[in-house]
Amino acid sequence: MTRLDHRLVDHLIVGAGFGGLCAAIKLDEDGERDYVVVEKGGDVGGTWRDNTYPGAACDVPSQLYSFSFAPNPDWSMSYSPQPEIQAYLQRVAKDHGVLDRFVFDTLVADAAWDEDTQRWIVRTEGPSGEATYAARTLIAGPGALSEPRLPEIAGIEDFQGEIFHSARWDHDVDLAGKRVAVIGTGASAIQIVPEVQRTLQATGGHLDVYQRTAPWVIPRNEHHYTPLQKAAFRHVPGLQRLARTAVYWGREAYVPAFTWKPALAAPAKRSALKNIEKGISDPELRAKVTPSYEIGCKRILISNAYYPALDADNCDLVTDPIEKVTGDAIVTRDGTERPVDVLIVATGFYTTDLPIAHRLRGRGGRLLADRFAETGMAAYKGSTIPEFPNLFFVVGPNTGLGHSSMVFIIESQVRYIRDALRTMRTNDYATVEPTERAFADWNADLQARMASTVWSSGGCSSWYLDEHGRNTTLWPRTTYVFRKLLSTFDVRSYRVTATRIETP
Ligand code: N01
């Protein structure tokens, strides 16, 4: 039974990134004001609060990488730098007057469905100790790229120099004149490498970049907005919406190329090969950075600065596999030992093994991680899961994108959740939970479509795939279709409980 010392709330939202913030603002708009947002960090922003590495910026155009309900005419560039996105999210949270319901520096330690009261009992740990909430619904927006993954490399724990993950940049470490190593060549690394290489060049330092698999990198077509353009965005009615719409449909046009029509991907491939040619003079180095799998199989990266940085005198690209790390060096399989003062691991995140799944228990005490072990990381419409009543994910399984803005997906899911809550309110449903049949049909269709995409058949391994090679992270169709499929809460795909049990 729910004890009186549990704080009763209608909704508990986990995470204050784009997803949690959007949910909070929209619940507020609907008059669903009895909610709390529990955030493990000290501020809103999620991944944009955490990733403060030099060069951090978005690779989705700024016009699209913002809430549709909070346009920002002041973006400085076509691709926003991290500090601007973080400031934007802080401003949006403040302007919408929701921050008084946010609890920061507090972790959701566990959450369990309580059959008697039909509430989620959520235990949190924060600076002032533990607290427990009893919530009718649990809205989980923990982020798909929020838990850094450290590489499993022999000896790494014995390294005596400075070491940190790209998503936990240690700004107290001075890189000037040092020997720095970056492990990884994904989206984070290719932004970090040019910045670090420049710093080291100016101070007599050296950079080693450890590449396991070469990424495809196309040019970054970016520009600063002029004061005139910003004024036009601010004052010409509809102009910014028009720019957003143009970017949106431009991005949607990529989808056929990802869904395994290689001829359509050919221009992107040509552009990436030209980028190598332009940025790198040494033929041997060019060969090392030329990928051997289909473009799009891993996330396509964008940079004008990455290849020139690798080509610089003070930078070496190491492609021999890492054998081990010692107290002060990295040793590769060919026996070469390269000394390191600062080791930056840009090795990505836990993506197919959602850490929060180890802390959520549904009906009968069923651990979400145990269900995922059987079904793979999977949900109905990326949002709801059988055996887990009144649990809604924002950025859940198979909602990631290889081509467009996650903010669009987030807004689509939040619409769906709002409609679910409306439906529950109108019909006095205490619980909703997708049927196993709806769940199975949705995922069978999704995986059938996935099989022919470049992400599954492009000849690479990536963070999109789980240990069985199943893509549990990406949405295989256009975002337009996603929005349509989630436009109304399809109660017929749900098991509902109509009797509300009153809590003492
Ligand atoms: O992480 P990643 P990320 N030994 O997983 C390598 C988003 N994002 O932080 O390819 C050696 O992509 C690994 O090698 P391999 C975006 O969605 C967006 O860079 O597996 N190397 C790979 O090179 C992105 O996709 C933005 O062979 C090891 C790298 O580490 C996602 O976040 C910016 C290794 C990991 O790359 C993740 O990007 C940044 C090992 N043991 C991030 N383990 C923008 O918007 C891993 N690697 C611009």
pLDDT tens column, 203-252: 999 999 999 999 999 999 999 999 999 999 999 999 999 999 999 999 99
Quote ipTM for the complex.
Answer: 0.98
Distance 346 CA to ligand 1 centre (A): 6
Residue at which a domain ends, from 345, 367, 387: 345
Check whether residue 283 and residue 333 sit in a common domain: yes
Residue 502 lies inside a defined structural domain of this protein: no
pLDDT at 497: 94
Query: Which of 11, 19, 242 is closest to 135 using CA atoms?
Result: 11
Check whether residue 340 and residue 360 sit in a common domain: no
CA distances from 493 to 326, 428, 441, 447 (A): 55, 17, 10, 19
Q: Which residues 6+ apart lie within 8 Å of 203 measured at CB?
A: 175, 176, 177
Residue 440 lies inside a defined structural domain of this protein: yes
Residue nearest to atom 10 of ligand 1 (CA): 213
Check whether residue 175 and residue 314 sit in a common domain: yes
Residue at which a domain ends, from 345, 370, 399: 345
Residue 200 lies inside a defined structural domain of this protein: yes
Check whether residue 170 and residue 129 sit in a common domain: no
pLDDT at 262: 78
pLDDT at 480 over 50: yes
Sign of CA pseudo-dihedral 346, 351, 356, 357: negative
pLDDT tens column, 434-447: 999 999 999 999 99
3-class DSSP state for residue 119?
A: strand
Check whether residue 132 and residue 53 sit in a common domain: yes
Residue 244 lies inside a defined structural domain of this protein: no
The span from the CA of 283 to the CA of 74, in Å, is 42
Check whether residue 212 and residue 333 sit in a common domain: yes
pLDDT at 2: 46
Check whether residue 370 and residue 416 sit in a common domain: yes
pLDDT tens column, 10-69: 999 999 999 999 999 999 999 999 999 999 999 999 999 999 999 999 999 999 999 999
pLDDT at 500: 59
Q: Quick check: CB of 217 below 6 Å from ligand 1?
A: no
DSSP type of residue 381: T
pLDDT at 353: 86
Distance 271 CA to ligand 1 centre (A): 21
Check whether residue 436 and residue 411 sit in a common domain: yes
State how many domains the chain has. Answer: 2
Atom of ligand 1 nearest to the CA of 345: 30
pLDDT tens column, 171-196: 999 999 999 999 999 999 999 999 99
Q: Which residues 6+ apart lie within 8 Å of 293 measured at CB?
A: 213, 458, 459, 460
Residue at which a domain ends, from 301, 323, 345: 345
Residue 325 lies inside a defined structural domain of this protein: yes
Q: Quick check: CB of 300 below 6 Å from ligand 1?
A: no
Q: Is the pTM of this model over 0.90?
A: yes
Check whether residue 21 and residue 86 sit in a common domain: yes
pLDDT tens column, 87-115: 999 999 999 999 999 999 999 999 999 99
Alpha helical stretches, state H, 360-501: 368-375, 406-427, 436-451, 454-457, 479-485
Distance 186 CA to ligand 1 centre (A): 4
Check whether residue 325 and residue 358 sit in a common domain: no
Residue 76 lies inside a defined structural domain of this protein: no
Check whether residue 205 and residue 341 sit in a common domain: yes
pLDDT at 502: 57
Determine the structural domain holding residue 188 and report its residue range: 162-227+255-345
Q: Quick check: CB of 378 below 6 Å from ligand 1?
A: no
Confidence tier at 1 by pLDDT (50, 70, 90): very low
Check whether residue 143 and residue 220 sit in a common domain: no
Confidence tier at 3 by pLDDT (50, 70, 90): low
The mean pLDDT of the chain is 96
Q: Quick check: CB of 322 below 6 Å from ligand 1?
A: yes
b/e sequence 325-338, b meaning 16+ C-beta within 10 Å: bbeebbbbeeeeee
CATH number at residue 174: 3.50.50.60
Residue 207 lies inside a defined structural domain of this protein: yes
Position 243, amino acid:
A
Q: Quick check: CB of 151 below 6 Å from ligand 1?
A: yes
pLDDT at 5: 72
Distance 15 CA to ligand 1 centre (A): 22
